[in-house]
Structure 1
């Protein structure tokens, strides 16, 4: 007789994912500290289930300083009733709860970045344990993952965007394009696979993933919330999970399909100082064009350093804080796909 060599994940769910109806509660991650010897970390979770049908995991708070998705997921938990569902919605409004509670990209408990922690470790740090549970318990039963991100406190994206891993073949590409079109946000970026991302965890478990990037800059924009919520509801109707008045009749926008192609589409600081952007969001830039200057007020006679774009493309994301250190991302570009 063989046994599963995997260590059991210590998280215990207060809700029964196999039962019909709407339930809310917490995933209890045991956490013994000086303040609370027998304590647990309360990760909010909800399920809305009605019989057989597609299973969708909708997640926000993967990064704790990205607030747009946390608001949208909380709204969906309040708004959607089981009689409007065929299948199951599993909803995590604050997936990395310690990070979301603190308003930080990474967990204050272990420095963990949840979207760099998959497939996780059931015997590891709190962030690794959360990643393991999401991949091997929640995504293992899901057909789709919707992971709601934004630029957080350090980056700002132009408008509402979607991201997806490059498809592996033409059939998967056609399916992905249909799903992204049904979500209907203005831009969809295709990007290479990264095994530590939630999107790759979904792929390993046989689910298809769509990630959003909704503004950012540590703010919440009402228009982006409305646009993303409408697109998400339309997508849920498109796959046959949601029906009724909540499903919009049309998508928010016609989607432009774009591609992010690795290092050439990014600009990074190589010096510590104050950065002056020389272009803005939405601009089309040429290879070799000046992107930013780094200034050095602590050495005022030192000339600023000018950084340049390595590739042509459209500016889709820009750093927000002016103070930078070597290694900080200042811009990221995308180019048209399917030309």
Structure 2
């Protein structure tokens, strides 16, 4: 069943009103010209149980997250659900339609607005409404992201070490981060909502192999929350608590000497940066660890990340 376009205001969002599997446009607020900012939403609701929200598209070029979240909504059989699953595949429609990380309407990062005290700009207002009326009602939140100029080996990140075993049900590589301020995951955790962030592939692209692995992992995770019926597949985990970002020493062109997911030793050559009309310089790894982020755009500016090494 598909509800009529723009039929539900985010302030009236109540999970108890649904039974079955429905998709609709979720109204938020009116922009300066009087048009309403709305976003796609899917709900699968059946009987009493946990409430889980899967989010994609906080940043408009992170299409793996958008594709994964809408795909899992399509695949899940409502008869196997006990509880409430909310899917928001394009959380930031303004940025998505511009095919940019943030919207030019205010150039604010939506994933830095939650529980913030600033609510004047459209993106800030959107974050406030979504958190107060949807995310705060959840038991679990999974926020799916994608790299930008570089590619991430699919991995999960948590700010609460208690989530490591839960995150490993989705993806085998787990990064334990410090508090990320007003991000969705940190803000949700501060309110007692169990939260996980996923990083999948690169921006402006859909990696179908990564998509399939992540959807399989998300279904496994939903079984562990008891929202989805079925047996849980226990998985191995590789946990990292540190991340080193290697920046380019100058502007030019980067050529990688390593592969995504590779374990490298301290002192190994990561790659070469060639200065425009100038010298080449080999970049050496300052530490030993695994490469979970590798720049794919070959033109780099001084200081821009070319590799993230986790250990």
Normalised by the length of structure 2, the TM-score is: 0.87
2:119 aligned with 1:104, yes or no?
Answer: no
Deviation at 1:94, TM superposition (A): 0.3
Partner of 1:180: 167
Name which of 13, 16, 21 aligns with 1:18: 16
2:30 aligned with 1:28, yes or no?
Answer: no
Contact 1:135 1:205 in 2 (8 A): no
Contact 2:294 2:306 in 1 (8 A): yes
Bigger Cα displacement from structure 2, 74-83 vs 59-68: 74-83
Provide the C-alpha distance between the structure 1 equivalents of 2:305 and 2:146, rounded to a whole number of angstroms. 15
Name which of 289, 292, 302 aligns with 1:316: 292
Question: In the TM superposition, what are the counterparts of 1:91-170 in structure 2 within 5 Å?
Answer: 91-120=87-116, 123-152=119-148, 154-158=149-153, 160-167=154-161
Partner of 1:329: 305
Provide the C-alpha distance between the structure 2 equivalents of 1:217 and 1:127, rounded to a whole number of angstroms. 21
Q: Equivalent residue of 2:168, what SS?
A: helix
Contact 2:10 2:133 in 1 (8 A): no
Provide the C-alpha distance between the structure 2 equivalents of 1:136 and 1:221, rounded to a whole number of angstroms. 33
Question: In the TM superposition, what are the counterparts of 1:1-339 in structure 2 within 5 Å?
Answer: 12=10, 16-21=14-19, 22-33=21-32, 37-120=33-116, 123-152=119-148, 154-158=149-153, 160-167=154-161, 172=162, 176-183=163-170, 185-243=171-229, 247=230, 249=231, 251=233, 254-262=235-243, 265-297=244-276, 300=277, 302-335=278-311
Judged with a 3 Å threshold, the aligned counterparts in structure 2 of structure 1 residues 73 and 217 are, in CA distance, closer, same or farther, namely: closer
Deviation at 1:266, TM superposition (A): 0.9
Judged with a 3 Å threshold, the aligned counterparts in structure 2 of structure 1 residues 60 and 110 are, in CA distance, closer, same or farther, namely: same
Deviation at 1:197, TM superposition (A): 1.8
Contact 2:224 2:232 in 1 (8 A): no
> How many residues in Structure 1 have an aligned counterpart in Structure 2?
302
Bigger Cα displacement from structure 2, 270-279 vs 318-327: 270-279
Provide the C-alpha distance between the structure 2 equivalents of 1:196 and 1:94, rounded to a whole number of angstroms. 19
Contact 2:13 2:134 in 1 (8 A): no
Provide the C-alpha distance between the structure 2 equivalents of 1:17 and 1:26, rounded to a whole number of angstroms. 15
Deviation at 1:191, TM superposition (A): 1.7
Contact 1:121 1:129 in 2 (8 A): no
Provide the C-alpha distance between the structure 2 equivalents of 1:88 and 1:250, rounded to a whole number of angstroms. 19
Contact 1:266 1:331 in 2 (8 A): yes
Provide the C-alpha distance between the structure 1 equivalents of 2:295 and 2:205, rounded to a whole number of angstroms. 14
Partner of 1:5: none
Please give the root-mean-square deviation of Cα atoms over the aligned residues, in Å: 2.3
Unaligned runs of 5+ in 2: 1-8
Deviation at 1:260, TM superposition (A): 4.0
Deviation at 1:226, TM superposition (A): 1.4
Bigger Cα displacement from structure 2, 41-50 vs 314-323: 41-50
Provide the C-alpha distance between the structure 1 equivalents of 2:17 and 2:117, rounded to a whole number of angstroms. 27
Deviation at 1:192, TM superposition (A): 1.7
Unaligned runs of 5+ in 1: 1-10
Provide the C-alpha distance between the structure 1 equivalents of 2:181 and 2:168, rounded to a whole number of angstroms. 25
Q: Equivalent residue of 1:127, what SS?
A: helix
Partner of 1:6: none
Q: Equivalent residue of 1:53, what SS?
A: coil
Deviation at 1:228, TM superposition (A): 0.9
Provide the C-alpha distance between the structure 2 equivalents of 1:306 and 1:124, rounded to a whole number of angstroms. 47
